[in-house]
Amino acid sequence: MSYEQKTIKVNGNEYKLQRMALKQYLRLKDQSSINGVLQDEKFSEGLLENVLIEPKMTLESFDEGDRLKDFAVVVKEIIAFQQPQ
């Protein structure tokens, strides 16, 4: 099964996203929550690992160069792309 892909451009940097399976996405949300509160670090790491396919990046990667300002926008775009329509 192939999943939808999308390329976004943020501050001149290109990021390629690939949708996760719905069950996998919901499991990531559940595993990233403590007492019903979503933990940003764990959730963001999971999104970057599973949805951002090019360039492969970690949270630490966004601390390098001019990419720090991209982080919030990229994660917001990933969540919007991943949400069931």
The per-residue pLDDT for range 27-65, each reduced to its tens digit, is 999 999 999 999 999 999 999 999 999 999 999 999 887
Residue 84 — very low, low, confident or very high, per pLDDT cuts 50/70/90? low
The predicted-structure confidence for 68-83, as pLDDT tens digits, reads as follows 889 999 999 999 999 8
pLDDT at 13 over 90: yes
Q: How far apart are CA 2 and CA 37, in angstroms?
A: 31
User: How far, rounded to the nearest angstrom, does the alpha carbon of residue 81 sit from its chain's CA centroid?
Assistant: 9
Q: What is the pTM of this model?
A: 0.88
